Amino acid sequence: MSLKGKIEAIIYAAEEPVTVDQMAALLRDIVLAEIAQEASNAAAAEETANGETAQADAAAAEGTTPEPHAESAPETPSEVTGEAAVEPDAATEVSAPETTSKKKAPKDPELTAVKAKLRTVLAELVADYQSDARGLEIRQIAGGYRMATKPEHHDVVVGFAKSLKPPIRLSLQALETLAVVAYKQPVTAPEVSEIRGVDSSGVIATLLDRKLVTTAGRKQVIGRPILYKTTKEFLLRFGLKDVNELPSMEEFEKLGDAGQGVLFEAEQKSAGQSASDEAARADDEMMAREEDEIALQDDVVARAAEASGDANASEDAASAATEETKHEPAHAEANSESAADTSEVQGSTNENA
């Protein structure tokens, strides 16, 4: 694959804009090899051209007679002096750029050459995608390069995107069950559970709902269990022509260690995510309990304050009632005395009459 093709594949596969620095780090050796190849081809072409020129000059020299050279006039002292005066200036002019170039020399000339070559290829690639025959274009976004559809095709792309099915997300258990069905099909649910070591009936039901697995009749044994196989949807989702394109068991054995590491990392990530979720849930529950306790304490304090207020009011009423009780005998005595005085007055009045 050519360098342009590699750059095109990287830009297409990347989800975020790809910078020139990222491409240089990834394709440095390939770019340097191509630069060396181009230099070698250029040198070979130059040697070929020089050889052809020399042959032409030799042929021309054989067909012509040498002409006598004219005697050169003696140089005057002034001319010699002028030329000698010019030579120091020329030396100064030559040495000055050399000093400047040494000061501005890049730290890594190979990296500079790689980036320059990448920018040249990127410019050619962008120009190729600007053709009306292409529906995609390469844009410079956020300091990098990204492939996108052209604005004039917006309506067509939106209509197509609306017709697409949403992506299917499968758990690790579902992927394991689907792999067993794909390699052992047609296979029964008990056989899948035996291979995985756990009950897989629920996972198979999920795969049936996702239309990745379908029934394939019944196995002719006692109980006649249902057989399962993969569907056309499975091939579409995984980009397979048929099940024969699945990786062989030998390939899996070669990549067994790497695959186990990936599965172990995925399980660790899942376990860590579950643990973090449990911790967050526990923190939320603890905060909710604390808030409930605070609210309960506030309620108890409010009720106690209300009860103390009622008690104070009762005490005031009781004291007021006690005071009234104390004054009632005095009023009664005063009333009796006033009544006696009145009766005496009435008695004296009657006697006088």
**Residue-wise pLDDT tens digits, 293-305:** 787 777 777 777 7
How large is the average pLDDT for residues 274-287? 74
Beta carbons within 8 Å of 237's beta carbon, 6+ residues apart: 168, 212
315, containing H or E segment: helix 256-352
Among 78-82, 159-163, 221-225, the minimum mean pLDDT is found in 78-82
- Name the architecture of domain 172-246: Orthogonal Bundle (1.10)
Give me the mean pLDDT over the 195-216 stretch: 90
Residue labelled with tokens 């980036």: 115
Percent of the chain scored above 70 by pLDDT? 68
Does 87 have pLDDT greater than 70? Answer: no
Find which of 84-98, 212-226, 236-250 is predicted with most confidence, using mean pLDDT.
Answer: 212-226
**140: enclosing H helix or E strand:** strand 136-141
- State the average pLDDT over residues 236-248: 85
Average pLDDT over residues 129-157: 89
Report the pLDDT value the prediction gives residue 266, as an integer from 0 to 100.
64
Higher model confidence: residue 282 or residue 100?
282
Which residues are CB-contacts of 125 (< 8 A; sequence separation ≥ 6)? 4, 7, 8, 138
pLDDT at position 145:
92
45 CA to centre of own chain: 49
At 282, phi and psi to the nearest 5?
Answer: -65, -40
> What average pLDDT does range 8-31 have in this prediction?
89
Ranges 46-55, 68-77, 171-180, 238-247: which has the least confidence: 68-77
Compute the distance between CA of residue 213 and CA of residue 232 in angstroms, rounded to an integer: 9
On the question of pLDDT at 233 being above 80, the answer is: yes
**Confidence at residue 227, expressed as pLDDT on a 0 to 100 scale:** 93
Spatial distance between the Cα atoms of 209 and 194, rounded to a whole number of angstroms: 22
- Of the two residues 311 and 195, the one the predictor is more confident about is 195
pTM, 2 dp:
0.43
CB 12 within 8 A of CB 147: yes
pLDDT confidence bin for 97, thresholds 50/70/90: very low
State yes or no: pLDDT of 341 exceeds 60: no
Give the C-alpha separation, 223 to 187, whole Å.
14
The torsion angles phi and psi of 146, rounded to 5 degrees, stand at -145, 140
- Is residue 320 pLDDT above 70, yes or no? no
Q: What is the pLDDT of residue 257?
A: 60
Token readout for 89 is: 């200036």
pLDDT averaged over every residue in the chain: 75
Task: Check residues 71 and 248 and name the one with the higher pLDDT.
Answer: 248
| pLDDT grade for 241, boundaries at 50, 70 and 90 | confident
Does the pLDDT of residue 278 top 80, yes or no? Answer: no
* Residue 249: both structure tokens together: 């068991």
| pLDDT given for residue 318 in this prediction | 60
Beta bridge partners of 145: 18, 140
Rounded to whole angstroms, the Cα distance separating 215 from 196 reads: 20
- Give the model's pLDDT for residue 79: 47
Length of the chain: 353
* Number of Cα atoms under 13 Å in the Cβ half of residue 5: 2
Mean pLDDT of the region 43-62: 77
The CATH number of domain 3-47+86-160, selected from 3.90.1150.30, 1.10.10.60, 2.120.10.60, 1.10.10.10: 1.10.10.10
pLDDT tens string 148-166: 999 998 889 888 888 887 7
Q: What's the CA gap between 72 and 197, in Å, rounded?
A: 105
Domain ranges for the chain: 3-47+86-160, 172-246, 260-332
pLDDT, residue 81, reads 44
Of 52-56, 91-95, 255-259, the least confident: 91-95
- Region of residue 320 (phi > 0: left; psi between -120 and 50: alpha; otherwise: beta): alpha
